[in-house]
A and B are shown apart, each in its own frame.
Chain A
């Protein structure tokens, strides 16, 4: 029997108790609910902030190229051109703005690091939990901006802040109490007129200063 027990760990009791333990464990598992996720029939309960696919809000994009340049495997393609807008007022200056022609992400290259989403200064890119976009051909994984835009509908609202966390910066600024004395009584900005009146009110002081300097 010693030959059979050679593989046992020191704490184990070999032989019959182990066999009974095996029977007990399988019987206990039989009596409990299974762990199987019946995926195509029931959708999986994904955790918040799941990284399924990257969605694009085209209106927010300024073609600044930050995402494309930060992408570690260069899977973002952006084409844009400049458009000249006529002046809105007579005699005004013409304005130029960027117009996005093409925004594409190659999901066969993307490694889902999320850096593009982090660096976007205008919140044009978002994580969507949608993950069912497999293709037969790997080349079909290059998705253009219309497809990326469709995924915006699946982007969940941002998670609520923790109960005791600080307010977001915008809210905090709006709710900040006015300074002592109130806004109205702040010293007026130093304009030309203000300087003139100040000089008129205290001519003697200026004269005294000039005297002292001479």
Chain B
């Protein structure tokens, strides 16, 4: 791999990292609005408000960057970066097509799950360093959520990896066949629910619950740093949607996969992103104890049962 190739791949991943979250964000604006009988942004950019998020970005850049006096300055300033960068790095190992991937890592599934866990650390740092009780409450909720939902995610990813016999994301898609849709269905549901919780998306948005604890860890943030947190949320949606498409929906597989395989991955991921938006519109927020209950009574046992089912299946087939 030459230096030029590395540069091109990096720039491509960075471009995808900057464009895809905006695409999901704009979709959320419009889909949520129409699900509520509204129109959503209509002015920015001229045509149906397509440039709304660009305008938002410009607005955030112009705002003053305030750091509270009592804040732990270095941690406070570092937190948005810690929240954002892991998703950027994780994005580089998601394969869009057999040869279209930022960096083909052997243990890609493990790599992505580990990095997604680091992303939560940014929220924790923000909550701790803000010197604000709402932020601290949000950080504690976030930590509790991380503890209970990492396990179901890891177990459901392990189930797919076990079925494919590899931890490589490209390898999993190569081994995938359509009946995995049924075979891995419980694991897929568990993964989706746990991914929602890890992304702190409704109905699991207690850490940032704006009506309860004023956006939790992000209360004290302004300007570009706040925008980075928002960007990391949408980058997380993109990452989890693409990961779901690769693990459970067969990635680039589909008609004319040789030529437009990357489009299939993106379309499947986009469908999952729309589903995530849809759940936000339709469902109310859970309480913190309900979330823990759901995780430990339902998701973990189902994920373990799925792992057992996959093991039996692999032994029977093999």
A-side residues, CB < 8 A to B, are 4, 19, 22-23, 25-27, 29-30, 32, 34-36, 38
B240-285 residues at the A interface, CB under 8 angstroms: 278-279, 281-283
CB contacts (< 8 Å) of A4 on chain B: these are 290
- Sample (6) of A-B pairs whose CB atoms are under 8 Å apart: A23-B278, A29-B36, A32-B37, A34-B33, A35-B38, A38-B39
B275-306: CB near A (< 8 Å → 1, else 0) gives: 00011011100000010000000000000000
Alpha-carbon gap, A34 to B37, bound state (A): 4
B35 interface residue (CB < 8 Å to A) = yes
B34 interface residue (CB < 8 Å to A) = yes
CB contacts (< 8 Å) of A35 on chain B: these are 37-38
CB contacts (< 8 Å) of B34 on chain A: these are 29-30, 34
- Are A38 and B35 in contact, with the CB atoms below 8 A? no
Given contacts A34-B33, A34-B39, 18 further A-B contacts (CB under 8 A): A4-B290, A19-B282, A19-B283, A23-B279, A26-B35, A26-B282, A29-B36, A30-B31, A30-B34, A30-B35, A32-B37, A34-B38, A35-B37, A35-B38, A36-B38, A36-B39, A38-B39, A38-B42
- Are B39 and A25 in contact, with the CB atoms below 8 A? no
B30-72: CB near A (< 8 Å → 1, else 0) gives: 0101111111001000000000000000000000000000000
CB contacts (< 8 Å) of B283 on chain A: these are 19, 22
Interface residues on B, range: 10 to 19
Alpha-carbon gap, A30 to B34, bound state (A): 5
- Are A27 and B35 in contact, with the CB atoms below 8 A? yes
Given A34-B39, A38-B42, are A25 and B282 neighbors across the interface (CB < 8 Å)?
yes
CB contacts (< 8 Å) of B42 on chain A: these are 38
Looking at chain A's contact residues, the main secondary structure is helix
CB contacts (< 8 Å) of A38 on chain B: these are 39, 42
Which of B37, B39, B279, B290 meets A29, CB within 8 Å?
B37
Alpha-carbon gap, A29 to B35, bound state (A): 5
Alpha-carbon gap, A38 to B35, bound state (A): 18
Alpha-carbon gap, A38 to B42, bound state (A): 9
Alpha-carbon gap, A188 to B154, bound state (A): 114
CB contacts (< 8 Å) of A30 on chain B: these are 31, 34-35
A-B residue pairs, 9 tightest by C-beta: A22-B282, A26-B35, A36-B39, A26-B282, A35-B37, A30-B35, A23-B282, A26-B281, A30-B34
Q: Which residue of B lies closest to A36 (CB)?
A: B39
B81-125: CB near A (< 8 Å → 1, else 0) gives: 000000000000000000000000000000000000000000000
CB contacts (< 8 Å) of A23 on chain B: these are 278-279, 282
Kindly provide the distance from the CB of A110 to the nearest chain B CB, expressed in whole angstroms.
Answer: 33
Given A4-B290, A19-B283, A34-B34, are A26 and B39 neighbors across the interface (CB < 8 Å)?
no
Q: Which residue of A lies closest to B280 (CB)?
A: A26
Kindly provide the distance from the CB of B172 to the nearest chain A CB, expressed in whole angstroms.
Answer: 29
Kindly provide the distance from the CB of A26 to the nearest chain B CB, expressed in whole angstroms.
Answer: 4
Interface core residue of A23, A25, A26, A32 (most chain B CB under 10 Å)? A26
Alpha-carbon gap, A22 to B278, bound state (A): 10
Kindly provide the distance from the CB of A4 to the nearest chain B CB, expressed in whole angstroms.
Answer: 6
CB contacts (< 8 Å) of B35 on chain A: these are 26-27, 29-30
CB contacts (< 8 Å) of B282 on chain A: these are 19, 22-23, 25-26
Q: Which residue of A lies closest to B281 (CB)?
A: A26
Kindly provide the distance from the CB of B39 to the nearest chain A CB, expressed in whole angstroms.
Answer: 4
Alpha-carbon gap, A29 to B31, bound state (A): 10
Kindly provide the distance from the CB of A119 to the nearest chain B CB, expressed in whole angstroms.
Answer: 43
Alpha-carbon gap, A25 to B37, bound state (A): 11
Q: Which residue of A lies closest to B277 (CB)?
A: A26
Interface core residue of B31, B282, B290 (most chain A CB under 10 Å)? B282
Kindly provide the distance from the CB of B45 to the nearest chain A CB, expressed in whole angstroms.
Answer: 16
Kindly provide the distance from the CB of B197 to the nearest chain A CB, expressed in whole angstroms.
Answer: 16
